[in-house]
């Protein structure tokens, strides 16, 4: 069984969000982590490795620095790491990103592709499903549990107040939620092995069946106009009233602010 996991190196928001003067994220000034949903996806793949001996290949797209996230994946137990990096791929939106990753995955054999639901820096949740579309395979999103049965995969898909159980023939793509599992820690020895391992680096020329018009900034239909930090809400107001008084108080406040 061969599993491909897509991961993204994202800014660690715990260390604070920093911006360039033009309003875009200053990624170089921020600490980075493996995107939490992707990490859960990797853990799911590693559990398939523990149970069925699956071979786990991790793919990322980004700056050369994104190699770090692949080393981390190897230190957790992944078998191979592939970094897709090229200047012409820069500035990609979700469309161009999914085209790039699909172009890379076409070079690989796979039964299952696992991506995170969404990245904490963009929150679009589009790349995973788009990759499946480009590759012409089924997608099951928002997975909270994954089981294998013969040549099929059975997935619990999270829904608002329930979950759906879906069965799909492999190959297929699954998008994972951070709640899917508790990812394992890297091991100290795994870290040293990860830095001895070779990371495969692919550029534009290595992407299969992708048109230039779908890549990089030029191939991106969407552009980010502006990004900003969350505006902090005030401390709020605490009042102690009996239930009927408190309802009147809240309604009055809402009216004052023209909410109702």
CA dist list (Å): 165 to 88, 140, 145, 159: 41, 10, 9, 10
Cβ distance to another protein smaller for residue 32 or 97? 32
The DSSP H or E segment spanning 135 is: helix 127-135
Shortest distance, position 13 Cβ to another protein, whole Å: 15
Q: Which residues pair with 32 in a beta bridge?
A: 11
For residues 13-27, one letter each, b for 16 or more C-beta atoms within 10 angstroms of the residue's C-beta and e for the rest, the string is eeeebeeeeeeebeb
User: Counting contacts by CB under 8 A, is residue 189 touching another protein?
Assistant: yes
Please tell me whether residue 184 binds another protein under the rule CB under 8 A: yes
Residue 38, interface with another protein (CB under 8 A)?
Answer: no
Residues between 49 and 108 that touch another protein (CB under 8 A) = 68, 71-72, 75
Q: CA–CA separation, 161 vs 130, rounded Å?
A: 26
Q: Judged by CB under 8 A, which of 17, 125, 168, 191 binds another protein?
A: 191
Looking at 52, 159, 192, 249, which residue binds another protein (CB under 8 A)? 192
Q: How far apart are CA 213 and CA 2, in angstroms?
A: 31
Nearer to another protein, 103 or 183 (CB): 183
Contact 57, 4 (CB under 8 A): yes
- Given the complex with another protein, which of 196 and 230 has the nearer CB atom? 196
Q: At its nearest, how many Å lie between another protein and the CB of residue 214?
A: 34
Q: Which residues in this chain contact another protein in the complex, by CB under 8 A? A: 68, 71-72, 75, 184-192, 194-195
């Amino acid at each position: 069984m061969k599993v491909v996991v897509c991961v993204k190196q994202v800014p660690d928001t715990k260390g604070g969000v920093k911006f360039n003067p033009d309003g875009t994220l200053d990624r170089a000034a921020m600490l980075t982590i493996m995107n939490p949903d992707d990490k859960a996806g990797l853990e799911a793949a590693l559990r398939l490795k523990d149970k069925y001996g699956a071979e786990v290949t991790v793919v990322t797209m980004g700056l050369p620095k994104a190699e770090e996230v692949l080393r981390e994946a190897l230190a957790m137990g992944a078998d191979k790491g592939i970094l897709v990096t090229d200047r012409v791929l820069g500035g990609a939106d979700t469309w161009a990103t999914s085209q790039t990753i699909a172009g890379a995955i076409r070079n690989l054999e796979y039964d299952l592709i696992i991506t995170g639901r969404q990245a904490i820096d963009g929150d679009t949740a589009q790349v995973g499903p788009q990759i499946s579309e480009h590759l012409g395979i089924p997608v099951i999103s928002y997975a909270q549990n994954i089981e294998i049965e013969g040549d099929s995969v059975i997935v619990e898909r999270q829904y608002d107040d329930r979950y759906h159980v879906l069965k799909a023939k492999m190959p297929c793509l699954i998008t994972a939620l951070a709640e899917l599992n508790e990812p394992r820690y890297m091991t100290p020895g795994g870290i040293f092995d990860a830095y001895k391992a070779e990371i495969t680096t692919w550029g534009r020329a290595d992407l299969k069946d992708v048109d230039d018009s779908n890549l990089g900034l030029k191939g991106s239909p969407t552009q980010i106009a502006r990004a900003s930090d969350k505006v902090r809400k005030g401390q709020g107001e605490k009042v102690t009233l009996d239930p009927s008084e408190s309802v009147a108080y809240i309604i009055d406040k809402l009216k004052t602010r023209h909410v109702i």
